[in-house]
Structure 1
Amino acid sequence: MPPPPNPALYQTSTFAELYRSAFKAFAHREALVASGAGPRLTYRQLEQQCHRMVRCFQALGLQRQDGIAVLATNRPESVATIIAAHLMGLVYTPLHPLGSEEDQAFILVDAQAKALVVDVQRHAERGLALAQRQLVPHVLTLGPAAYGTDLLAASSGLDGSDTVLDVQPDDIVKIAYSGGTTGQSKGIVHHQRTVVTSALQQLACWEWPEQVRFLAATPVSHAAGAMILTTFLQGGAVHLLERFTPAGFLQAVAAERITTTFLVPTQIYGLLDAPELGAHDIASLRLVLYGAAPMAPARLRQALDRLGPVFAQVYGQAEAPMTISYLRRDAHDLAHPERLGSCGRSLPGNQVRLLDADHAEVPVGELCVRGPLVMSGYLDRPQETAKAFAGDWLHTGDMARRDADGYLYLVDRAKDMIISGGFNVYSSEVESCLAQHPAVALSAVIGVPHPKWGEAVMAVVVLKDGARVEAAELIAHVTDRKGVVQAPKVVEFVDALPLTALDKVDKKALRARYWAGQARQVG
């Protein structure tokens, strides 16, 4: 046998190398387009701006693997900042633009960030509050401000030529923080391996149109940001929508002939209910990726009827981002309506098993993952990391089943399962049933305290504009289709459901109303 080769022989590429390859391959194409009348940058112009920012970071004394946090919105300057961090090998931590000051301050300390970058067009007040806490050595602003250093001004006169940087394949590229829906946010550590794997799986398995004009309608700090590199590797253009509204989205698609986008279900529901939907030519759309939360099959059928066969579902989580599984466009087949409730098949490179509490494979169990997509662990939380990796699998917390054709179906989050009188009730199934009622726009089903059954099924319902329905009718609707165990015992009508910063229904906030003071808490 020959002697074992140096492990460096088998190391993966880096995010920095992938960005560089796109910049060189498509130098004169349009890369980044701002909302409205904002700037339109070619790949060469974007590359130069990124390298000027890198030199500014270096002049401040930042070094490879130092942490940098970014509080920004969907602007070209924000995207350039994030790419510059990747080119330099900094550890990038996004701060959600709708996060609280206390959560953002906690993240800056927990991640040991050396620099904070603030988009002062939208976040001047929050940036000032964080700067006054003196949590990081350097506060940089995207534009002039009464505090910090203006990154745009400081970098404008610097050399924009390529910088030779020593980014390594085993470097940490990102620390992403969970939304804190189950307590204190956790720093999720991703090395280069994770993000490169996700990008390559996106390229190989997602059904990109021939010409990619991607509309970033969710924050680039989160889901939309994961699709920037894969758009660039195809020579496509990223169009930035600063704030999602149905009318603004439809106008942007029509004006720029957008071919692909990513939306969360609540945004799709907003489009379907918008009076402007039929007033714009959006025939250019070829691929609408959706994910981040379950989508009611009844609403998905409505979306297919109104927008056509353009929908594909992505499934992942912060610990294994975006590409655990994928439901192709052709699987959104009304001849097989059951598949509209699926999150697709697992993608090549991932091992996916459904496991019980003893880590034995079962027909319905927790969806667990192995492979290079999986995080490295939680930052400085060895016990929580060990729990997430019990049995040498990543435990997603999602309960699922798999059919004979390999399609996965999420039946609920493990913590969203309601146990009523000893029976398991999956809230997502009840929500899907309620969505089939013509009066229901959106619902959230939770368990509430009950002296006899432990938990009772409760539905919090938003009705469509002008619709009227009695609670008894909705209870009977679910009873007829799902049985009395699954049917809500209580229905509450509200004007709107609380949403998290990622536009997901905030069930933790809903539960808090009913479980305050209880010895046992859910969620």
Structure 2
Amino acid sequence: MLLPTSPAFLALQASRRGRAGGLCFAGRRIAYGELSAAVDELAAWLVRRGLGTGQPIGVQAANEPAVVAMLFAVWGIGAVAVPIAVRSTAEETAHLLEHARARALLCDRGREAVARDAAAAAGVPAFVTAPDLPLAPRLLRRGRRPAPRAPRPPAADGLAVIAYTSGTTGAPKGVMLTHANLLWAMLACAQARGDRAETVGACLSPLSHVPVLVSHLLCRLLAGATAVLVEKFDVGATLDAVERFGVTDLTLIGGMVFDMLALGQIPAAVRRTVEKVSVGGAPTPMEAKRALARLFEGAELIEAYGQTESTDGVTMARGTSVFDREGTVGRVNPHVVVAVRRPDGALAAPGEEGEIVVGGPTVMAGYHRDRAATGDAVRDGWLHTGDLGRQDADGYLFLTGRVKDIIITGGENVSPAEVEAVLRAHPGVADVAVIGTPHPKWGEQVTAVVVRQPGARVDGAALGAFAGARLAGFKRPRRVEFVDALPRNAANKVQAHLLRERFGG
């Protein structure tokens, strides 16, 4: 089967829908034809600087049209994109460039100082490449096209991305994804969600994260739809973009949900235009999902589950299933295969907990320069996610914890996610993470690290009693620590290893 690559489908949309769809940003629309011309211009510029096939190139830019042009230009010359979060320090950026063995770093004007310091430390050139997209229509009117992008176009099985994972348990790993991985993930997400040419989706989270890149941007472009770029999430700016561009699909990750709920109400024009509201990135409490459904009355609520190593989407829960099957992350997406396995590798029975494994064409090619980690994660074609879960008789998947996060206390296994879900239901708890800390008798003890709600005076004894009334005794937190905020990475995931370092003594 001949699979198109990302540059190929962008060119196809430009030929079919040149004056339609594309991107919206800061009050203006950029149609497919204009975007494609800008990509060609930048690709030719990169080739003239000696960059080309197979070379990793760092991309560090905010959510604006420039970053989209950078990514597609890198792919267009057959190179490999290495997306880097804009919040990364120069030291962090240099480390990723060195590990990826990048040949250059592309950045926007807002990150020039950090990028130049990082690139110098890594020994590569840094280029400030924010293409002037309004130039593209003039090039088209003159009938000129830039020089060819690359001597040979990228193949579907060629490497497209080295994506560095969140690193919640230690140093980030470079996930290698091919063009075929990206395409199958786009198809899986777009089909499961029902994307169409009329869809207008908002990109509120950084495109440096593969799940965001795939589900918020590439899926839209594959469908011939429109992607609205918001440089930095802000409730007011988001609602303004929804009204201005007629956003139909909104995705809120982590704390965005609670920022939106804090409004209490939204303009009627927003309720009229938004058709779907998706949540993901971290577990969203059921009460928050119910409140979100009330806030966006009439919109369909969606909850998704995936990993960078699976090129984003694995399952999706839509509509009533989010509420009728409390805790589910939905059914398996098209083109993806999921199984739940016991510790001995045998298939778990319906309703039985085990490790979630993923198969199919979205599974990563491996970890960059780390054969041992690759061999541990991908065995016999199955990606071992490290997530614990169960699947019911109707195929709905439920997450129950992490394999490596399991706390073994007095010989009993405790899932932190289960304890966290109970504690989040306490009115005095704003945020919580549960970890295992050393105990001389039990080996480990269940320890809750809690952020209180503003003004709340709840103490550890009260939380222990609250959890003890709802959980088996061995699952009740024996130690409760209070903090102002939990350490989270750029993907909004709690950095449990930092909590273990702080409270493990």
Q: Are residues 1:240 and 2:226 paired?
A: no
The aligned counterpart of 2:320 is: 330
Secondary structure, in 3 states, of the residue corresponding to 2:329? coil
Aligned pairs (5 A) from 1:39-50: 39-50=28-39
Secondary structure, in 3 states, of the residue corresponding to 1:183? coil
Q: Are residues 1:174 and 2:161 paired?
A: yes
Q: CA RMSD in A?
A: 2.3
Unaligned runs of 5+ in 2: none
The aligned counterpart of 1:117 is: 106
Secondary structure, in 3 states, of the residue corresponding to 2:326? helix
CA contact (8 A) 2:401 2:415 kept: yes
The aligned counterpart of 1:4 is: none
- Deviation string 1:376-402 (CA, Å, 9 cap, x unpaired) is 111221111111123442110001111
The aligned counterpart of 2:376 is: 387
Unaligned runs of 5+ in 1: 1-9, 144-150, 517-523
- Deviation string 1:264-319 (CA, Å, 9 cap, x unpaired) is 122212222x2364467421211122222222223223322333453212211111
Aligned pairs (5 A) from 1:293-442: 293-308=282-297, 309-333=299-323, 336=324, 339-362=325-348, 363-442=352-431
Aligned pairs (5 A) from 1:126-137: 126-136=114-124
Of 174, 187, 201, which residue of structure 2 is paired with 1:214? 201
CA contact (8 A) 1:215 1:258 kept: yes
Aligned pairs (5 A) from 1:189-208: 189-208=176-195
TM-score by length of 2: 0.91
CA contact (8 A) 1:207 1:287 kept: no
Alpha-carbon distance in structure 2 between the residues aligned to 1:323 and 1:275: 29
Alpha-carbon distance in structure 2 between the residues aligned to 1:389 and 1:225: 23
Percent pairwise identity: 32
Alpha-carbon distance in structure 1 between the residues aligned to 2:188 and 2:263: 37
Alpha-carbon distance in structure 2 between the residues aligned to 1:22 and 1:210: 11
Alpha-carbon distance in structure 1 between the residues aligned to 2:479 and 2:269: 42
- Deviation string 1:66-90 (CA, Å, 9 cap, x unpaired) is 2111011111111111121222221
The aligned counterpart of 2:20 is: 29
CA contact (8 A) 1:142 1:152 kept: no
Matched residue type, 2:120: Q
User: Displacement of 1:250 after TM fit?
Assistant: 2.9
Alpha-carbon distance in structure 1 between the residues aligned to 2:339 and 2:316: 16
User: Displacement of 1:252 after TM fit?
Assistant: 2.7
Alpha-carbon distance in structure 1 between the residues aligned to 2:196 and 2:462: 44
The aligned counterpart of 1:147 is: none
- Deviation string 1:177-234 (CA, Å, 9 cap, x unpaired) is 1223333322211112110100111222113377311111100121332131221233
- Deviation string 1:244-263 (CA, Å, 9 cap, x unpaired) is 12333233323333211222
Secondary structure, in 3 states, of the residue corresponding to 1:500? coil
Matched residue type, 1:48: A
- Deviation string 1:149-199 (CA, Å, 9 cap, x unpaired) is xx669x989854694652212211111112233333222111121101001
CA contact (8 A) 2:188 2:333 kept: yes
CA contact (8 A) 1:263 1:288 kept: yes
Alpha-carbon distance in structure 1 between the residues aligned to 2:268 and 2:79: 42
User: Displacement of 1:485 after TM fit?
Assistant: 2.0
Matched residue type, 1:350: V
The aligned counterpart of 1:17 is: 8
Alpha-carbon distance in structure 2 between the residues aligned to 1:426 and 1:512: 19
User: Displacement of 1:368 after TM fit?
Assistant: 0.7
The aligned counterpart of 2:244 is: 255
Alpha-carbon distance in structure 2 between the residues aligned to 1:350 and 1:483: 36
The aligned counterpart of 1:521 is: none
CA contact (8 A) 1:251 1:280 kept: no
Alpha-carbon distance in structure 1 between the residues aligned to 2:491 and 2:287: 23
Alpha-carbon distance in structure 2 between the residues aligned to 1:388 and 1:134: 29
Alpha-carbon distance in structure 1 between the residues aligned to 2:275 and 2:383: 33
In structure 2, relative to structure 1, the CA distance for the partners of 1:181 and 1:504 (3 Å cut) is closer
Matched residue type, 1:195: L
Aligned pairs (5 A) from 1:436-451: 436-451=425-440
Alpha-carbon distance in structure 2 between the residues aligned to 1:303 and 1:483: 31
- Deviation string 1:407-456 (CA, Å, 9 cap, x unpaired) is 11110111222111111111111111122222322211112222212222
In structure 2, relative to structure 1, the CA distance for the partners of 1:164 and 1:93 (3 Å cut) is closer
Alpha-carbon distance in structure 2 between the residues aligned to 1:297 and 1:276: 17
CA contact (8 A) 1:48 1:162 kept: no
CA contact (8 A) 1:365 1:401 kept: yes
User: Displacement of 1:466 after TM fit?
Assistant: 3.4
Q: Are residues 1:81 and 2:109 paired?
A: no
CA contact (8 A) 2:305 2:313 kept: yes
In structure 2, relative to structure 1, the CA distance for the partners of 1:162 and 1:289 (3 Å cut) is farther
CA contact (8 A) 1:297 1:432 kept: no
CA contact (8 A) 1:366 1:395 kept: yes
Q: Are residues 1:486 and 2:478 paired?
A: no
CA contact (8 A) 1:418 1:425 kept: yes
How many correspondences in the alignment? 490
CA contact (8 A) 2:195 2:223 kept: no
Secondary structure, in 3 states, of the residue corresponding to 2:224? coil
CA contact (8 A) 2:191 2:334 kept: no
CA contact (8 A) 1:247 1:276 kept: no
Alpha-carbon distance in structure 2 between the residues aligned to 1:326 and 1:185: 26
Alpha-carbon distance in structure 2 between the residues aligned to 1:192 and 1:79: 16
CA contact (8 A) 1:108 1:135 kept: no
Secondary structure, in 3 states, of the residue corresponding to 1:253? helix
